[in-house]
Chains A and B, each alone.
Chain A
Amino acid sequence: MKQAILKLPLLLFLISTIACNNSVEVDQDISANAKVAGAAAVKKVIESFILAEDGSTIKIPAGHFEFETQLIIDNLKDLKIIGAGMDKTFLSFKNLKSGGEGVKVVGKNITLQDFSVLDAPGDGIKTQHCDQIVFRRVNATWTNGDKSKNGTYALYPVQCKNVMIDECSASHSRDAGIYVGQSENVIVKNCTAFGNVAGIEIENCSNVEVFKNKVYDNAGGLLVFNLPNLPMADGFNTKVYDNEIIENNHVNFAVPINETPNGNTVTLIPPGSGVILLAAKNVEIYNNKILNNKTTGVAIANYQITGFPAEAPNWSPYSSDISIHNNEYARPLSPPDLTKDLGKLIAAKNAHGIGKSQDIIYDGFFDKSKGKDVKENPMNICIKEEKLDEMHFTLFDLHGGTDNIKASDDFKPFVCTGSVSTDLEAVKRL
């Protein structure tokens, strides 16, 4: 989206000035009560990672461990790393001197369980090229005040197969709390994600279920994205259900306030976004509570909206085969975001009146080889909600450029049903 897409009426600024709730950051060191481990104990943990073998169980006792080096599992099988509890074992990387992520894991049949990772300069826990990787009751967060300097992802499985993230917590990351990238066969359930720029992000993944999570107080709650030019080119088949996606109105701190978005897609996200689909394929969103996200409950977006080059091999910029049904919605009184272009677009140009929150928006880009008019629903976007006529639905038409933005509240072309099938029996057993 072009910079300064809209010149907003003064009224909007006034509304925002009055209604803007500057959330007060309460910084607390959640490990304050944990006993600080001595140098020998710290060294023992580092050694246990280095000396681990196939079949090992690494037990980390209660305490606050301060590391200057990374903890890495180097391509092992059947390994468990078990702490004394998310609220008892704290691995801090505040003083890490080299390397990005605090904990990095490569291997097969690996379980990470019952510990917290704090203040990694890059990602909290990164698992790469893993088959059968379980995160269970693992927490990753940042304790500093200046959030725009926090790390990137809290929990970050990438290029993995058979991923289970269960009862975990991810908070205060400057990108996504739980970020699953370029992976296949993924479950994210019973997790809590709050205070991040994005709560949970599923990016270029296939065969995914995200359910029974609590996602609140992020700038964007739950994202399903496909980004171009990656080894796993496009992802398909994601179900999002039984989640609470509530009050994701946190300021977007991915870049410092007053700085324009950089190349990280997450910097474009307007605070107050419940669910965002971007170039997403075959996604079913149902039985979720999508409440009080001030900009929009759900955004169906295409990659063109980012303004970045939208062509890449084996990848499509369009969201397609989307089914949204049986969700519960609530709009807050506060107006949509005005800090990001997409927020400004929604605030100023939606079909229900300036400054009105939306339940569902569709940016209206479509593949012209699939149909001539978006009202033919060429991308197979299906919305079936009980009181759709009472909801705020906006279809945008951005094809005419920034000076000729159109919006419609006509949801009828998109009333249809669809479903997505996943097969995650093997992951459920992990």
Chain B
Amino acid sequence: MNKAITLTIVLISLIICLHSCSKEGMSPEQIDFDQLPYEKLSEYGFFAGAMKDMQPAESVLAYRPNSELFSDYAEKKRFVWMPKGTSASIEAQENGRIVFPDKSILIKNFYYSKADGDKQRIIETRLLVKHNQEWQAYAYVWNEQQTEAQYEIVGASIPVDFTGPDMQQHSIDYIQPNKNQCKTCHNVDEQLRPIGPKVQHLNFDFKYANANIKNQLQMWTEMGYLSNYIPETKYDCMVDYRDDTQNLDLRARAYLDMNCAHCHSSVGSASSSGLLLNYNETNQTKIGLNKPPIAAGLGAGPHKFDILPGKADSSIFVYRMESTRPGVMMPELGRSTVHKEGVQLVRDWIDSLQAAEDS
């Protein structure tokens, strides 16, 4: 009798584990890159234990950019993995780009910790995989049971109810982009590239497991994931735009860099606008001050300039950030709600510009 119970328990555990744990023995080291993309997220073996806990397997390392892209208030857990014995390197201090070795994988989970009442709900996991020196983007949509995520290419519109950081209830259609939309943002000279892992975004202390606080570039180096980091060098560090102890200009520019500059850079898909929003751009016209739009169409609203210094209410920036209408809203992808806190920051910054000129 006892034996039977034990056996049943073992069997049930096995079944549960087969359904919700990473596949037995699967680890990223065993990924067959020629067979990618896998149909199911579990096949990669990124996570230890139940997948929905998003606990990284060995050698899968959490990271976070100091300022984050707004994605309809979705929270994100990001991980990086590289094959044993390989490491990334910093391309150049000027652009802060990190060059990854072949077979690197960046893992980004989008979730709401207070969805449908008070439950965590993971919506999707996006992978950037470098294979044969080219990056590929693969997206996986999670099932309702939160036990598995399925490869998806045509995109989806997913209704989500969640409590936002403002403690308000939000009901949205979360738009999962189609595969080719990924490159609208992940685009450097028409090549697919990561956005987040750049020196200026990672160069700050991150809280790792076991309350281990360490600069991320240092941690990557210790993990063997970064080869040419020199701690004594003064690398750029973009501020966290949420940190209101920081200078307003730096915060706003960090926000615009993270939310706009993937397209609005000289190598991005919005280069044609002449509006360039990298945090280190210094040309005032290129940042948008007193700059008429080029192809804004509806997005211009009643306004003449991208930024009219001192007049947030008369600036196209604010008009487009406050819209949720395709054809008007900016960014074009990745949100269906207004980022109130982001809009407020950009408003405050634009309003402050006149004051700076006056003084």
Contact = CB atoms under 8 A, between A and B. Distances in A.
Contacts of B35: none
B190 interface: yes
B336 interface: yes
Contacts of A375: none
B334 A231 contact: no
Nearest to A51: B153
Interface stretch (B61-69, B248-256, B284-292): B284-292
B130 to A, nearest CB: 16
A67 to B, nearest CB: 10
Contacts of B293: 262-264
- Interface size grouping (class) on chain B: 35 or more
B153 A262 contact: no
Contact of A264 (B175, B179, B296, B325): B296
A159 B334 CA distance: 25
- Dominant SS at the A interface? loop
Interface in A110-169: 120-123, 128-129, 149, 151-153, 156, 158-159
Contacts of B153: 47, 50-51
A74 B303 contact: no
A360 B302 CA distance: 31
A229 B190 contact: no
B178 A70 contact: yes
B303 A309 contact: no
A175 B326 contact: no
B292 A75 contact: no
Contacts of A179: 295
Nearest to B325: A121
A50 B152 CA distance: 11
A308 B306 CA distance: 13
B271 A263 contact: no
A43 B190 contact: no
B180 A50 contact: yes
B219 interface: no
A326 interface: no
Contacts of A210: none
Interface string B169-188: 00001010111110110000
A311 B49 CA distance: 61
Interface stretch (A82-90, A94-102, A363-371, A405-413): A94-102
B296 A121 contact: no
B300 A263 contact: yes
A250 B232 CA distance: 65
B175 A231 contact: no
A73 interface: yes
Contact of A230 (B274, B326, B333): B274
A185 B145 CA distance: 55
Contacts of A70: 178, 180-181
B80 interface: no
Q: Which bracket fits the contact residues of A?
A: 35 or more
B164 to A, nearest CB: 19
Contact of B334 (A98, A120, A123): A98
Contacts of B157: 68, 97
A190 interface: no
A69 interface: yes
Contact of B304 (A43, A129, A152, A263): A263
A369 B66 CA distance: 51
A268 B157 CA distance: 39
A87 B327 CA distance: 25
Contacts of A335: none
B290 A309 contact: yes
B22 interface: no
B332 interface: yes
Nearest to A47: B154
Given A128-B272, A263-B296, A263-B305, A122 B336 contact: no
Given A121-B326, A308-B292, A229 B274 contact: yes
B298 interface: yes
Nearest to B137: A74
A174 interface: yes
A151 B298 CA distance: 7
Given A99-B326, A100-B326, A121-B326, A255 B302 contact: yes
Interface in B292-319: 292-298, 300-306, 316
A252 to B, nearest CB: 14
A123 B272 CA distance: 14
A49 B183 CA distance: 14
Contacts of A123: 295, 297
A263 B190 CA distance: 29
B269 interface: yes
B302 A227 contact: no
A167 to B, nearest CB: 24
Contacts of B37: none
Contacts of B89: none
B266 interface: yes
Contacts of A75: 183, 190-191
Shortest 7 CB-CB distances between A and B: which pairs?
Answer: A152-B297, A121-B327, A72-B180, A263-B292, A121-B326, A263-B304, A262-B300
Given A68-B157, A75-B191, A179-B295, 19 more contacts: A49-B180, A50-B153, A69-B154, A72-B184, A97-B173, A97-B336, A98-B333, A99-B333, A122-B297, A128-B272, A129-B190, A152-B327, A158-B272, A158-B295, A175-B297, A229-B285, A230-B294, A263-B293, A263-B296
